[in-house]
Chains A and B, each alone.
Chain A
Amino acid sequence: MRHGVARFVTGFLALPVGLYLFYVVWPFLQAAGYSLTDWGGYSDRQQFVGLDNYLRLFTDELIRKAFWHNVFFLITVPLFTIALALFLAFLLNVGGREDKAGIRGVFGSGLYKVIFFFPQVLSLVVIAVMWQQIYRADGQGLINGVLMGIGLVDEDDPITFMYDPEPFLGVPAVLWWLLLIAVWSGAGFYMVLFSAAMQSIPKDIYEAAILDGAGRLHTFFRITLPLLRDTVSVAWVYLGFIALDMFALVYIMTPSQGGPNHASEIFASVIHFNAFQKGQFGYACAIAVALAIFTILLAAFQLRITRRERIEY
């Protein structure tokens, strides 16, 4: 019998573990190894250089830029997406007329949910290519076209979107435009998530609050939001990962994949730039290891600050 179990377990695990080791674990381990060499990627020549690549990280102007751009997305993507998603979920669930049964959701909330969720099923590539056309820097683009049509934008001086490195509030404009896409595509998904969480809050809690004379806003800020804390913090962690992964947008939409003039450079694009354009695989691996460490620290940090006792109801 015991022998049968061992054979069964091995048989079931062999293929998945084998594939995973070869295509996922082994490359990760190799990357850590390459990061200690000066390997260029195309030749077989590689020399052990110790921690040189890592020391170089601290003096690299591009890395410094990329780091702050990542931090920008890490703060703004979750912040704006969650704020908008919460607001939409709030309107959807308590924006309706009220009757004896209390506050209702708005009429047609099901339809709104279906529509808001659309961007979630579109691929990043579809979103990027579509927004490339929306953001065109001439009258052929959707936004410039509309604004020129109503006379808000001069035809000779269109909004340049992806070609605008000028800082706005200290951050290159191109990053703000990328942020808008991230919020546009993420808000619907988190709205559905929050909406489901709001509906799982028992009605009698609201009834009690209403009997005590609490208004819509009070019930939202004093009851709904605190009870949603768990869901919101999970959303924050997930959006953090998404914020680190803005590469598809940068790669497809910005000039020379991180431009103009490196104004939209992020970690991933710097790795790509060093590995495939400058042919410095060893250094690119060192950046990637640094990014991995950064990601893990961030995840641990977020899990730590968002952990607290669960409320059961």
Chain B
Amino acid sequence: MSTLTQTPGGSAGPGQAPPPDRTRGGSATIGGSRAGARFFNGFSHLFLAVWAVMVIYPLVWVVMSALKTDSEVIREPLSLLPKRLQWDNFARVWTEGNIGSFFVNTVLVLTGSIFLTMLLGSMAAYVLARYDFPGNRLIYYMFLSGLTLPIYLAAVPLFKGVYNLGVTLPFLGPNSHLMLILVYVAWSLAFTVFFMHSFFRTLPNAIAEAGMVDGASHSRLFFSVMLPMAKPGLISIGIFNVLGQWNQWYLPTLLMQSVAGEPKNQVISQGLIELSVNQGYRFDWSGLFAGVTMAMLPVLVVYLVFQRQVQSGLTAGVGK
């Protein structure tokens, strides 16, 4: 900031031309002088570029390290140009490091959980937003309260509850995909209901009434009229949930530990933690970087393709 405070007004150094006539062209110049403005412009670019490098450089470094041999990672950690690109690092981690099956597990769980989160979340939000019945406020505030309470508070009983359920119903017990889907849905409902509630409130009444006059049932009105009208909101909250659930690590760490002999049903976050924690004496450095790259690139690609929607979707969540 200290450089910045000197830029406006009279920052034209000695030996430089005096500031041009301020009144020329009828509009006052901002920032004191042309030279000052040019300096400020240069400074802006410099600072922004430095921050951009600070964001990108570590990411590029991770990707390039994933393409090195282990000895290159150790001996020339900083070089961004491996001698030969080691694509088989990816293949090795994909199969031996289990990242492949963790990846598939994550996609599998998310397919179910995102669909159910969106469906159940908008159903609940719609009813709470547009129908008056006793207990409406109570249920709404129950959902809202979940937004403020820390997840760690529920961790221990949640673990025990899932464990106990698994004794009688193994497909809903620990280390089961269906259980994780339901847990993801339940924990995503609070924000989804909160967000969609405010969205359904803003939809005009006239269309709903017209639908009723035409003889549409309540559920038909919801699925064929109101839900399509809420599409912008659904996209925002959908992106929010996809990123949130893809990146979830605490719930799976708590609930998806596989005992020896059980199938490995873990998700990708757990695979990464596993890769990074098992730093034995013969550690697979390039494999670790390859794992991080594989967890990182799909989200980055999706983001780059849909960046406008992602940015507005995520910031809309804060703006409400």
Q: Does A62 contact B (CB under 8 A)?
A: no
B135 CB to closest chain A CB (Å) equals 9
Return A213 CB to nearest CB of chain B, in Å.
Answer: 6
With A118-B55, A118-B56, A296-B148 already in contact, the answer to whether A87 and B123 are too (CB < 8 A) is no
Taking CB atoms and an 8 Å cut-off, the chain B residues in 264-320 that contact chain A are 269, 272-273, 275-277, 288-289, 291-292, 295-296, 299-300, 302-304, 307, 310-311, 314-315, 318-319
Report the bound CA distance from A295 to B124 in whole Å: 26
Contact, CB under 8 Å: B272 / A24: no
Contact with B along A120-156 (1 / 0, CB 8 A): 1111111001111110000111100110010000000
User: Are A129 and B5 closer than 8 Å at their CB atoms?
Assistant: no
Contact of B276 among A12, A119, A129, A244 (CB under 8 A): A129
Bound: A271/B276 CA distance, A: 23
**Chain B nearest CB, measured from A223 CB (Å):** 12
Q: Any chain B CB within 8 A of the CB of A117?
A: yes
Q: How many chain A residues touch B (Cβ–Cβ < 8 Å)? A: 105
> Which one of B62, B158, B219 lies within 8 Å of A23 (CB-CB)?
B158
- CB nearest to A211 among chain B residues: B28
Q: Are A27 and B307 in contact (CB under 8 A)?
A: no
Contacting pair B41 A106 (CB below 8 A): yes
Which listed residue (A96, A140, A187, A215) contacts B8, Cβ 8 A?
A215
Please give, as numbers and ranges, the residues of chain B lying within 8 Å of A67 by CB-CB distance.
none
Q: Assuming the A-B contacts A41-B156, A215-B31, A288-B150, are A95 and B300 also in contact, with contact meaning beta carbons closer than 8 angstroms in the complex?
A: no
B273 and A129 contact, CB distance less than 8 A: yes
**Residues of chain B contacted by A133 (CB below 8 angstroms):** 62, 65, 288-289
Does B29 count as interface, using CB distance less than 8 angstroms?
yes
- Please report which residues of chain A, range 222-280, place their CB below 8 angstroms from some CB of chain B when the two chains form the complex: 231, 234-235, 238, 244-245, 247-248, 252, 267-268, 271-272, 275
B51 touches A88 (CB 8 A): yes
Known contacts A106-B44, A248-B250: A235-B318 contact under CB 8 Å: yes
Q: Which of A4, A26, A296 contacts B218 (CB 8 A)?
A: A4
Which of A95, A213, A214 has the most C-beta atoms of chain B within 10 angstroms of its own C-beta?
A: A95
Check if A102 is an interface residue, CB within 8 A of chain B. yes
Chain A positions within 8 Å of B121 at CB level: 16
B154 adjacent to A28 (CB under 8 Å): yes
- Nearest opposing residue in chain A for B239, CB measure: A121
Q: Which residues of chain B are within 8 angstroms of A115 by Cβ–Cβ distance?
A: 52, 55-56
Can you list 17 A-B contacts with CB-CB less than 8 angstroms, sorted by A residue number?
A4-B218, A11-B219, A12-B127, A19-B186, A24-B186, A24-B187, A91-B48, A96-B41, A97-B37, A107-B45, A113-B311, A116-B55, A120-B314, A122-B300, A124-B247, A129-B291, A234-B319
